[in-house]
Amino acid sequence: MVKALILIADGTEEMEFTITYDTLVRAGVQCTSAFVPDSATPPPVPSSAALLDTTPESKTTPTLVECSRGVKILPDTTLDPLKAGPDIYDLLVIPGGLKGAQTIAGSSPVQHLIRAYHEYPERRLIGMICAGSLAALQASLKRQPLTSHPSVKAQLEDKFEYKEDSVVVSDRLVTSRGPGTAFPFALTLVELLFGAEKRDEVRGPMVFPVGTPW
């Protein structure tokens, strides 16, 4: 089964996260959301019950994330770089929302993961949308075609071949512009993973308005 790891942090743009997650699930992708903590924020103190629970199945409940517009999402897990690599997942997704994107892009473990996915012997995909494209810069990816939200264009245009298309595909890196391009972004990921027929199969029941170009 194809697997995707979708990162999330406080301040993540909820549309970009949920639309991508939902669309991938519709295509049959096994999605896992992973919370990326702000390095400046101390980790939560575990409860006394958690400290007493020593069973092998016990795990720390991830933090409830407050997204950019106040929607709260409970991730599946907190990011563990040792369990997040391209040997486990086929796709790594980084949504935008400036605050969340800055946290994710500034995470050293995330930067290492991005390079690992980009260089993995078998083809793996990396999806970045909106300000999430800052992660390509922080991970020092090679110069290649890329897009982002206009608000962070100035930080990226000198290091990459900046485009203003809704979705830009550059080998393993797929980038997009913002909440309004979340559907074409997600559907492009589906097409790259499974082909155009699966993309159309997923798109149809969504009932987009007649004439929608994607």
For 36-147, strand residue ranges (E) read 65-66, 72-73, 77-78, 91-94, 125-129, 145-146
Q: Torsion angle, CA of 39/174/22/115, rounded to 10 degrees?
A: -40
DSSP string, 8-21: E-TT--HHHHHHHH
d(Cα 28, Cα 35) in Å, to the nearest integer? 22
DSSP string, 91-142: EEEE---HHHHHHHHT-HHHHHHHHHHHH-SS--EEEEEGGGGHHHHHTTPP
Q: Which of 13, 67, 130, 191 is catalytic?
A: 130
Q: Which of 14, 16, 118, 191 is catalytic?
A: 16
CA angle 151, 156, 159 (to 5 degrees): 170
Residue reference for tokens 């982002």: 148
Task: Clarify whether 149 is annotated catalytic.
Answer: yes
Which token pair is 200?
Answer: 């159309």
* Residues whose CB falls within 8 Å of the CB of residue 163, separated by 6 or more in sequence, listed in order: 145, 146, 147
Q: Which of 13, 67, 118, 149 is catalytic?
A: 149
Task: Clarify whether 16 is annotated catalytic.
Answer: yes
Active site residues: 16, 130, 149
